Amino acid sequence: MGISDLIASFLQDSLDTAENGVLEVQRSELAQRFNCVPSQINYVMSTRFSPERGYIVESRRGGNGYIRITRVQVDRQTLMMHVINSLGSSVDLASARAILSNLVQSGALERDMGQTILTAVGDKALSRVPRESRDAVRADILRQVLILQV
């Protein structure tokens, strides 16, 4: 298990026992606990605790800096609209996979539908689209298909 996995696991366990699904930790204490640089903590925050995965992360830097992680508990329609509105002008395949996985895990999408959408936005389905345009086309398709699911 890598350092990122250890940090994510620790944070997830702490979040599971936190009051109201909110965890507040100091970046420097985490870095010291795991004997890593603070940027490693930032990496874990951006990749494991993103809005697409159902979290809101607030951060304050400096001497008394902290990270506040909030697990978002929302109804299906609100979650779907949040995901749709947070899609940028391009989405890479890994991000599309994470978004769809979160929607399936949260119960907002059926597993079969998540797999179907992932197939539709996959590189194989977009093979005739020039590589430099795929992420933009993927975002457009993902957005439109998710709108139909709301």
pLDDT tens per residue, range 101-119: 988 988 899 999 999 999 9
Residue count (the chain): 150
User: Closest by alpha carbon to 41, among 67, 65, 20, 23?
Assistant: 67
74-92: per-residue pLDDT in tens? 788 888 998 899 899 999 9
Secondary structure E strands in 66-107: 66-71
What is the token pair recorded at 121? 């936005």
Domain 3-71: give its CATH code. Answer: 3.30.56.130
> Can you give the pTM of this predicted structure?
0.63
- Distances in whole angstroms, Cα of residue 27 to Cα of each of 40, 50, 51, 140: 10, 17, 19, 36
Higher local confidence (pLDDT), 79 or 148: 148
pLDDT band at 13 (very low <50, low <70, confident <90, very high): very high
Q: Is the pLDDT of residue 53 over 80?
A: no
pLDDT band at 28 (very low <50, low <70, confident <90, very high): confident
